[in-house]
Structure 1
């Protein structure tokens, strides 16, 4: 979207500049068209270079707005036991469904290892032998 708007912006600016130039100097219309084309190409070249530099210099955050993927690797303590390997955990202001390979008692430290849909896959942080 920004590239399309940039094209319209710079071709409009080229038209304004050609209009200002022709108001001071009489220029034949083929020369005006050529001047408009050259100015548009020049502006677009510099716009493309700036846009490419700007997008490369910005850090892309691939996990933005993917809260469930941001949770992978975090450690929590269970406040409710897991029955049949399933339960819920409260993280900040949300309650997430969790799943483990086996039942876990209350107070077990767990780590989130994966996400399946909206279900967080957890493993006990320390296994009791």
Structure 2
């Protein structure tokens, strides 16, 4: 076993890093990519510095441990950028407060309104087609309107 560890060289670390990154593609979980990057770093450093296998394993462990806070920082930053568009994946919530023209009249509390290329079902007081209505509430695909 120690013979294998002694023969750990630069190319083995580079291959190990590429294999870990390939495994990340097969089983995504944003974990193996960081270990792959750590192995690639050890391989690149080993090109410039002649180091023992113990030092190489120590460098790999340190890089892998340092990857955790780095990953958390990157993940937190990408989550914060999602706040730039608060209505992403909540299209109906972005419609509250806007006014539209009824496509079909509201009869017995139900009608439709065309918004861009989509026809939405709306609920509200009976109103004739062509009237302007304001969206006051959105619950999934169900919009509640009042006369504008």
With normalisation by structure 2, the TM-score equals: 0.63
Change (3 A) 1:62 1:45: same
Question: Contact conserved, 1:80 with 1:106, CA < 8 A, in 2?
Answer: yes
Residue deviations 1:27-59 (CA, integer Å, cap 9, x gap): 3322222233234434x2673475157336625
Distance 1:5 1:66 in 2: 32
Residue deviations 1:64-111 (CA, integer Å, cap 9, x gap): 1322222121101224321111111111111111110x2112332211
1:120 correspondence with 2:147 = no
Structural mapping, 1:8-27, within 5 Å: 8-21=35-48, 25=50, 27=51
Question: Contact conserved, 2:101 with 2:131, CA < 8 A, in 1?
Answer: yes
Residue in structure 2 matched with residue 82 of structure 1 by the alignment? 106
- Which structure features the higher share of helix residues? 2
Question: Contact conserved, 2:42 with 2:59, CA < 8 A, in 1?
Answer: no
1:41 correspondence with 2:68 = no
Unaligned runs of 5+ in 1: none
Q: Extract structure 1 runs of 4+ deviating beyond 3 A.
A: 39-42
Structural mapping, 1:91-102, within 5 Å: 91-100=115-124, 102=125
Residue in structure 1 matched with residue 133 of structure 2 by the alignment? 110
Which piece of structure 1 moves more, 27-36 or 51-60?
51-60
Question: Contact conserved, 1:14 with 1:40, CA < 8 A, in 2?
Answer: no
Distance 1:66 1:53 in 2: 21
**RMSD, matched Cα:** 2.8
